[in-house]
Amino acid sequence: MRNMLTALLFFVATTPAMALNIVITNDDGFETPNIQALYDVLVDAGHDVILSAPYLGQSGTGGQIAFLRPIPPTSKPSAAGRLPTGSPGVGPTGIAPQQFYVDGSPSASALYGIDVKAQQIWGHAPDLVISGPNEGNNLGVITPHSGTLGAAVTALNKGIPAIAVSAEGNGAADAKIVAKLVLKLVDSLDKHGRVQLPVAIGLNVNTPVIDEINDTVDDFNFKFTRIGSSSNFGLKFYENLGDSPFANSVGIPANINLPGVSIVIPPSDAGYPVDKSPKSETNALKPRVVTVSPIQGTYAAEKAIEGKVLRGGLKHLLED
Protein backbone atom coordinates (compact mmCIF):
# COMPACT_ATOMS: atom_id res chain seq x y z
CA MET A 1 0.00 0.00 0.00
CA ARG A 2 2.81 2.40 0.93
CA ASN A 3 4.55 1.65 -2.39
CA MET A 4 1.34 2.32 -4.33
CA LEU A 5 0.83 5.62 -2.49
CA THR A 6 4.43 6.65 -3.12
CA ALA A 7 4.05 5.85 -6.81
CA LEU A 8 0.79 7.83 -7.01
CA LEU A 9 2.33 10.86 -5.29
CA PHE A 10 5.30 10.70 -7.66
CA PHE A 11 2.92 10.56 -10.64
CA VAL A 12 0.95 13.59 -9.44
CA ALA A 13 4.12 15.53 -8.69
CA THR A 14 5.61 14.88 -12.11
CA THR A 15 2.44 15.29 -14.21
CA PRO A 16 1.35 18.83 -15.18
CA ALA A 17 -1.96 19.76 -13.56
CA MET A 18 -3.20 21.16 -16.86
CA ALA A 19 -2.00 18.59 -19.41
CA LEU A 20 -4.00 18.64 -22.65
CA ASN A 21 -4.88 16.05 -25.28
CA ILE A 22 -3.54 17.62 -28.47
CA VAL A 23 -3.66 16.58 -32.14
CA ILE A 24 -0.97 18.16 -34.31
CA THR A 25 -0.86 18.22 -38.11
CA ASN A 26 0.68 20.32 -40.88
CA ASP A 27 0.80 20.73 -44.65
CA ASP A 28 4.51 20.02 -45.18
CA GLY A 29 4.57 16.34 -44.25
CA PHE A 30 5.18 14.26 -41.13
CA GLU A 31 8.98 14.21 -41.46
CA THR A 32 9.65 17.96 -41.29
CA PRO A 33 11.80 19.36 -38.45
CA ASN A 34 9.09 21.86 -37.45
CA ILE A 35 6.35 19.35 -36.61
CA GLN A 36 8.75 16.85 -35.07
CA ALA A 37 10.19 19.56 -32.80
CA LEU A 38 6.67 20.62 -31.79
CA TYR A 39 5.76 17.01 -30.95
CA ASP A 40 8.87 16.63 -28.78
CA VAL A 41 8.37 19.93 -26.92
CA LEU A 42 4.69 19.30 -26.19
CA VAL A 43 5.33 15.72 -25.02
CA ASP A 44 8.25 16.83 -22.84
CA ALA A 45 5.90 19.40 -21.26
CA GLY A 46 3.54 16.59 -20.26
CA HIS A 47 0.85 16.93 -22.91
CA ASP A 48 -0.63 13.83 -24.55
CA VAL A 49 0.01 14.32 -28.27
CA ILE A 50 -1.19 12.58 -31.42
CA LEU A 51 0.65 13.55 -34.61
CA SER A 52 -1.48 13.02 -37.72
CA ALA A 53 0.15 14.67 -40.72
CA PRO A 54 0.31 14.28 -44.50
CA TYR A 55 2.56 11.62 -46.02
CA LEU A 56 3.95 14.19 -48.47
CA GLY A 57 3.95 18.00 -48.63
CA GLN A 58 0.53 19.50 -49.36
CA SER A 59 1.23 23.25 -49.39
CA GLY A 60 -1.41 25.50 -50.90
CA THR A 61 -4.23 22.96 -50.69
CA GLY A 62 -6.45 25.07 -48.41
CA GLY A 63 -9.23 22.95 -46.92
CA GLN A 64 -9.20 20.39 -49.73
CA ILE A 65 -10.88 17.03 -49.06
CA ALA A 66 -11.02 14.06 -51.47
CA PHE A 67 -14.62 13.09 -50.76
CA LEU A 68 -15.56 9.40 -51.10
CA ARG A 69 -12.16 8.43 -52.52
CA PRO A 70 -10.56 5.42 -50.82
CA ILE A 71 -6.90 6.02 -49.95
CA PRO A 72 -4.76 3.38 -51.70
CA PRO A 73 -1.16 2.40 -50.87
CA THR A 74 1.38 5.14 -51.55
CA SER A 75 2.77 5.58 -55.06
CA LYS A 76 6.14 6.95 -53.97
CA PRO A 77 8.41 6.99 -50.90
CA SER A 78 7.95 9.63 -48.21
CA ALA A 79 9.89 12.86 -48.71
CA ALA A 80 12.79 11.94 -46.42
CA GLY A 81 12.67 8.27 -47.40
CA ARG A 82 11.54 6.88 -44.06
CA LEU A 83 8.59 5.03 -45.62
CA PRO A 84 8.76 3.15 -48.95
CA THR A 85 6.52 3.13 -51.99
CA GLY A 86 3.56 0.85 -51.37
CA SER A 87 3.09 1.82 -47.71
CA PRO A 88 -0.56 1.76 -46.55
CA GLY A 89 -2.51 4.95 -47.25
CA VAL A 90 -2.60 5.65 -43.51
CA GLY A 91 -0.40 4.26 -40.76
CA PRO A 92 2.22 4.84 -38.07
CA THR A 93 5.27 6.93 -38.97
CA GLY A 94 7.65 4.72 -37.01
CA ILE A 95 9.32 7.82 -35.54
CA ALA A 96 7.68 8.00 -32.11
CA PRO A 97 4.59 6.75 -30.26
CA GLN A 98 1.23 8.13 -31.39
CA GLN A 99 2.61 9.47 -34.67
CA PHE A 100 0.63 8.73 -37.83
CA TYR A 101 0.57 9.78 -41.48
CA VAL A 102 -2.20 10.11 -44.07
CA ASP A 103 -1.54 10.08 -47.81
CA GLY A 104 -3.91 12.99 -48.25
CA SER A 105 -4.53 16.65 -47.52
CA PRO A 106 -3.89 18.50 -44.26
CA SER A 107 -7.63 18.59 -43.57
CA ALA A 108 -7.91 14.84 -44.14
CA SER A 109 -4.93 14.31 -41.83
CA ALA A 110 -6.56 16.44 -39.13
CA LEU A 111 -9.79 14.47 -39.47
CA TYR A 112 -7.92 11.16 -39.14
CA GLY A 113 -6.38 12.42 -35.91
CA ILE A 114 -9.71 13.73 -34.59
CA ASP A 115 -12.18 11.07 -35.78
CA VAL A 116 -10.05 7.92 -35.63
CA LYS A 117 -6.93 8.14 -33.50
CA ALA A 118 -8.27 10.44 -30.77
CA GLN A 119 -11.27 8.14 -30.36
CA GLN A 120 -9.08 5.02 -30.25
CA ILE A 121 -6.55 6.46 -27.80
CA TRP A 122 -8.57 8.87 -25.64
CA GLY A 123 -12.17 7.89 -26.33
CA HIS A 124 -13.11 11.49 -27.16
CA ALA A 125 -12.12 14.50 -29.25
CA PRO A 126 -8.88 16.38 -28.54
CA ASP A 127 -8.78 19.46 -26.33
CA LEU A 128 -6.81 21.31 -29.00
CA VAL A 129 -5.62 20.95 -32.59
CA ILE A 130 -2.40 22.65 -33.69
CA SER A 131 -1.66 22.86 -37.41
CA GLY A 132 1.98 23.56 -38.23
CA PRO A 133 4.44 25.02 -37.77
CA ASN A 134 4.37 25.68 -41.51
CA GLU A 135 7.60 26.19 -43.43
CA GLY A 136 6.99 29.82 -44.36
CA ASN A 137 4.56 32.44 -43.09
CA ASN A 138 0.83 32.44 -43.89
CA LEU A 139 -0.32 36.05 -43.74
CA GLY A 140 -3.21 38.20 -44.92
CA VAL A 141 -4.95 37.43 -48.20
CA ILE A 142 -2.93 34.24 -48.74
CA THR A 143 -4.45 32.49 -45.70
CA PRO A 144 -7.52 31.01 -47.52
CA HIS A 145 -5.15 29.04 -49.77
CA SER A 146 -3.04 27.64 -46.92
CA GLY A 147 -3.23 23.96 -46.04
CA THR A 148 -2.06 24.90 -42.56
CA LEU A 149 -5.08 27.18 -42.08
CA GLY A 150 -7.34 24.67 -43.83
CA ALA A 151 -6.58 21.97 -41.26
CA ALA A 152 -7.13 24.38 -38.37
CA VAL A 153 -10.48 25.49 -39.80
CA THR A 154 -11.49 21.83 -40.23
CA ALA A 155 -11.01 21.37 -36.48
CA LEU A 156 -12.82 24.61 -35.62
CA ASN A 157 -15.86 23.51 -37.59
CA LYS A 158 -16.01 20.39 -35.40
CA GLY A 159 -16.11 22.59 -32.31
CA ILE A 160 -12.47 21.95 -31.37
CA PRO A 161 -10.16 24.86 -30.46
CA ALA A 162 -7.43 25.20 -33.08
CA ILE A 163 -4.23 27.12 -33.72
CA ALA A 164 -2.52 27.51 -37.10
CA VAL A 165 1.21 28.22 -36.75
CA SER A 166 3.51 29.38 -39.54
CA ALA A 167 7.24 30.02 -39.21
CA GLU A 168 9.58 32.07 -41.35
CA GLY A 169 12.33 29.48 -40.88
CA ASN A 170 12.50 25.70 -41.18
CA GLY A 171 15.92 24.72 -39.82
CA ALA A 172 16.39 22.40 -36.86
CA ALA A 173 17.50 25.22 -34.53
CA ASP A 174 14.63 27.46 -35.69
CA ALA A 175 12.19 24.60 -35.19
CA LYS A 176 13.08 24.17 -31.53
CA ILE A 177 12.59 27.86 -30.72
CA VAL A 178 9.32 28.02 -32.67
CA ALA A 179 8.05 24.92 -30.85
CA LYS A 180 8.83 26.52 -27.48
CA LEU A 181 6.99 29.68 -28.54
CA VAL A 182 3.96 27.56 -29.40
CA LEU A 183 4.20 25.87 -25.99
CA LYS A 184 4.26 29.29 -24.33
CA LEU A 185 1.04 30.18 -26.16
CA VAL A 186 -0.58 26.86 -25.26
CA ASP A 187 0.35 27.31 -21.60
CA SER A 188 -1.27 30.75 -21.65
CA LEU A 189 -4.50 29.36 -23.12
CA ASP A 190 -4.63 26.30 -20.85
CA LYS A 191 -6.80 26.93 -17.80
CA HIS A 192 -7.34 23.81 -15.68
CA GLY A 193 -7.24 21.53 -18.71
CA ARG A 194 -9.53 23.67 -20.88
CA VAL A 195 -8.44 25.85 -23.78
CA GLN A 196 -9.66 29.39 -23.16
CA LEU A 197 -10.86 30.46 -26.60
CA PRO A 198 -14.38 31.52 -27.65
CA VAL A 199 -16.46 28.81 -29.32
CA ALA A 200 -15.55 28.38 -33.02
CA ILE A 201 -12.70 30.90 -32.76
CA GLY A 202 -9.07 29.93 -33.33
CA LEU A 203 -5.74 31.65 -33.86
CA ASN A 204 -3.45 32.30 -36.81
CA VAL A 205 0.07 32.58 -35.40
CA ASN A 206 3.16 33.67 -37.34
CA THR A 207 6.73 33.71 -36.07
CA PRO A 208 9.43 35.95 -37.58
CA VAL A 209 12.96 35.28 -38.78
CA ILE A 210 14.92 33.76 -35.91
CA ASP A 211 18.56 34.36 -35.03
CA GLU A 212 19.55 30.80 -34.15
CA ILE A 213 22.61 31.95 -32.19
CA ASN A 214 21.35 34.93 -30.22
CA ASP A 215 17.57 34.54 -29.87
CA THR A 216 15.89 32.81 -26.95
CA VAL A 217 12.19 32.22 -26.32
CA ASP A 218 12.09 34.99 -23.71
CA ASP A 219 13.26 37.53 -26.31
CA PHE A 220 9.96 37.35 -28.20
CA ASN A 221 6.77 39.35 -27.66
CA PHE A 222 3.30 38.23 -28.75
CA LYS A 223 1.23 40.90 -30.55
CA PHE A 224 -2.54 40.72 -31.06
CA THR A 225 -3.24 41.44 -34.73
CA ARG A 226 -5.82 40.85 -37.44
CA ILE A 227 -5.35 38.97 -40.70
CA GLY A 228 -6.10 42.05 -42.84
CA SER A 229 -5.55 42.30 -46.60
CA SER A 230 -1.82 42.91 -46.48
CA SER A 231 0.41 40.00 -47.48
CA ASN A 232 4.00 39.21 -48.37
CA PHE A 233 3.04 37.96 -51.84
CA GLY A 234 0.07 37.64 -54.19
CA LEU A 235 -1.14 35.17 -56.82
CA LYS A 236 -1.61 35.67 -60.55
CA PHE A 237 -2.68 33.41 -63.42
CA TYR A 238 -0.43 33.49 -66.49
CA GLU A 239 -1.37 32.24 -69.95
CA ASN A 240 2.31 31.38 -70.23
CA LEU A 241 3.76 30.57 -66.83
CA GLY A 242 7.16 31.41 -68.29
CA ASP A 243 6.18 35.09 -68.29
CA SER A 244 6.33 35.10 -64.48
CA PRO A 245 9.63 36.41 -63.06
CA PHE A 246 9.11 34.34 -59.91
CA ALA A 247 8.54 31.19 -61.98
CA ASN A 248 11.77 31.93 -63.84
CA SER A 249 13.61 32.32 -60.52
CA VAL A 250 12.67 28.76 -59.51
CA GLY A 251 13.75 27.24 -62.83
CA ILE A 252 10.65 27.41 -65.04
CA PRO A 253 11.85 28.51 -68.50
CA ALA A 254 10.39 31.50 -70.31
CA ASN A 255 9.53 29.36 -73.33
CA ILE A 256 7.48 26.74 -71.45
CA ASN A 257 4.31 28.08 -73.14
CA LEU A 258 1.97 26.44 -70.65
CA PRO A 259 -0.55 28.22 -68.39
CA GLY A 260 -0.36 28.32 -64.62
CA VAL A 261 -0.50 30.32 -61.38
CA SER A 262 2.57 32.02 -59.95
CA ILE A 263 3.60 34.23 -57.07
CA VAL A 264 3.84 38.01 -57.46
CA ILE A 265 5.85 40.30 -55.17
CA PRO A 266 4.61 42.82 -54.11
CA PRO A 267 1.00 41.59 -54.14
CA SER A 268 -0.24 45.00 -55.34
CA ASP A 269 1.34 44.16 -58.72
CA ALA A 270 -1.21 41.34 -59.00
CA GLY A 271 -4.16 43.61 -58.20
CA TYR A 272 -4.34 43.10 -54.44
CA PRO A 273 -5.36 46.10 -52.29
CA VAL A 274 -2.74 47.91 -50.24
CA ASP A 275 -3.27 47.57 -46.49
CA LYS A 276 -1.03 49.82 -44.39
CA SER A 277 -2.70 49.19 -41.04
CA PRO A 278 -0.19 48.47 -38.27
CA LYS A 279 -2.69 45.94 -36.89
CA SER A 280 -2.51 43.78 -40.03
CA GLU A 281 -0.36 40.76 -39.24
CA THR A 282 1.89 41.15 -42.29
CA ASN A 283 2.82 44.69 -41.22
CA ALA A 284 3.19 43.76 -37.54
CA LEU A 285 5.48 40.76 -38.07
CA LYS A 286 8.99 41.90 -37.15
CA PRO A 287 12.09 40.40 -35.55
CA ARG A 288 11.22 39.02 -32.10
CA VAL A 289 7.49 39.75 -32.61
CA VAL A 290 5.01 36.87 -32.92
CA THR A 291 1.66 37.83 -34.45
CA VAL A 292 -1.57 36.30 -33.11
CA SER A 293 -4.75 36.86 -35.17
CA PRO A 294 -8.22 35.45 -34.41
CA ILE A 295 -9.79 33.23 -37.07
CA GLN A 296 -13.13 31.46 -37.41
CA GLY A 297 -14.31 28.34 -39.16
CA THR A 298 -16.55 29.86 -41.82
CA TYR A 299 -16.56 32.80 -44.21
CA ALA A 300 -19.28 34.52 -42.16
CA ALA A 301 -18.93 38.31 -42.12
CA GLU A 302 -18.90 40.31 -38.90
CA LYS A 303 -22.19 41.79 -37.65
CA ALA A 304 -21.12 45.29 -38.64
CA ILE A 305 -20.54 44.12 -42.21
CA GLU A 306 -23.94 42.42 -42.29
CA GLY A 307 -25.51 45.78 -41.44
CA LYS A 308 -23.68 47.51 -44.28
CA VAL A 309 -24.93 44.89 -46.75
CA LEU A 310 -28.52 45.31 -45.54
CA ARG A 311 -28.24 49.10 -45.82
CA GLY A 312 -26.65 48.92 -49.27
CA GLY A 313 -28.02 48.20 -52.72
CA LEU A 314 -29.77 45.00 -51.60
CA LYS A 315 -31.83 46.61 -48.83
CA HIS A 316 -35.08 46.43 -50.83
CA LEU A 317 -34.50 42.79 -51.79
CA LEU A 318 -33.25 41.14 -48.62
CA GLU A 319 -35.24 40.32 -45.51
CA ASP A 320 -33.49 41.07 -42.23
237 with 224, same domain: the answer is no
| Chain segment 80-93, per-residue pLDDT in tens | 999 999 999 999 99
202 with 242, same domain: the answer is no
Q: Which of 109, 166, 262, 280 is catalytic?
A: 166
| Chain segment 238-259, per-residue pLDDT in tens | 999 999 999 999 999 999 999 9
- The count of domains in the chain is 2
Query: Quick one: pLDDT at residue 319?
Result: 61
| Chain segment 129-179, per-residue pLDDT in tens | 999 999 999 999 999 999 999 999 999 999 999 999 999 977 788 999 999
220 with 236, same domain: the answer is no
298 with 165, same domain: the answer is yes
In a domain, 304, yes or no: yes
- Whether 115 has a pLDDT exceeding 50, the answer reads yes
Domain with 53, as residue range(s), is: 16-228+274-311
Query: Quick one: pLDDT at residue 133?
Result: 97
In a domain, 283, yes or no: yes
In a domain, 6, yes or no: no
213 with 144, same domain: the answer is yes
36 with 48, same domain: the answer is yes
207 with 267, same domain: the answer is no
Question: CA 213 to CA 133: how far, in whole Å?
Answer: 20
Query: Quick one: pLDDT at residue 212?
Result: 87
In a domain, 3, yes or no: no
76 with 38, same domain: the answer is yes
Average pLDDT over residues 269-275: 93
146 with 78, same domain: the answer is yes
The pTM of this model reads 0.90
Provide CB contacts within 8 A for 268, sequence distance 6+.
234, 274
Q: What CATH number does the domain containing 191 carry?
A: 3.40.1210.10
- Whether 17 has a pLDDT exceeding 90, the answer reads no
72 with 107, same domain: the answer is yes
Residue 203 CB neighbour total at 10 angstroms: 20
153 with 178, same domain: the answer is yes
In a domain, 126, yes or no: yes
Q: Please indicate whether residue 166 is annotated as part of the active site.
A: yes
